[in-house]
Amino acid sequence: MSPAVRSPLPGEAAALDSVDDPVFAGGVVGPGLALRPPTGRRLDVLAPVTGTIVKTTPHAFVVRADDGAAVLVHLGIDTVALRGQGFEAVARQGERVDAGQVVCRWDPSGALDSGLDVVSPVVVLEPVGAAIEPAIPVPSAVGAGDALFTII
């Protein structure tokens, strides 16, 4: 079994099918969980696994773990429309990160003010066909850096 995928944000963990986006909710992107982060303050967004950042945009990033698994953290739904507003990069594409290391900072208030949903999917992109085993009851509160799920 793979090491635990850690929560990149504090908040409430929810089933992915509760996300108001058919691509995430339908599991098209991959299996995972969603996080409903607190609002009203800027949040440190943490690497969910130890590995290398293989893709980064202001609102999303992918870390390829040492075992080859690729984990996507997508901050909010349709937040690409914010064009980077409210997001601050800390780590860069190609950089090696440890699980729990700050990758970026995000203030969800801008997304809310724009009428966007701040629910944030954490999804396994690879290996294709992977499944997850939640490390916590879903739904439940989770802290940043807490074990979220394992890849099976």
pLDDT reading at 3 higher than 80: no
Q: Which residues pair with 134 in a beta bridge?
A: 149
Residue whose tokens read 């066909």: 129
- Averaged pLDDT of the chain: 96
Cite the beta strand spans of 42-146 per DSSP E: 43-46, 51-57, 60-65, 70-74, 87-89, 96-97, 102-106, 120-126, 132-134, 140-142
pLDDT reading at 12 higher than 60: yes
6, 36, 59, 74: the catalytic one is 74
Q: Where are the domains of the chain?
A: 4-151
Catalytic, 74? Answer yes
pLDDT of residue 1: 54
**CATH 2.70.70.10 applies to domain 4-151:** yes
pTM: 0.96
Which of 122, 98, 2, 1 lies closest to 50, judged by CA? 98
Q: What is the CA radius of gyration of the chain?
A: 14
Which whole number is the average pLDDT over 22-40?
A: 95
Q: What is the pLDDT of residues 70-114, one digit of tens each?
A: 999 999 999 999 999 999 999 999 999 999 999 999 999 999 999
Query: CB of 133 within 8 A of CB of 152?
Result: yes
pLDDT reading at 5 higher than 80: yes
Split at pLDDT 50, 70, 90, the class of 41 is: very high
Residue whose tokens read 């969603």: 34
Cis peptide leading into residue 10 (ω within 30°): no
pLDDT reading at 2 higher than 80: no
Tell me the C-alpha distance between 19 and 118, whole Å: 10
pLDDT of residue 137: 96
pLDDT of residue 26: 94
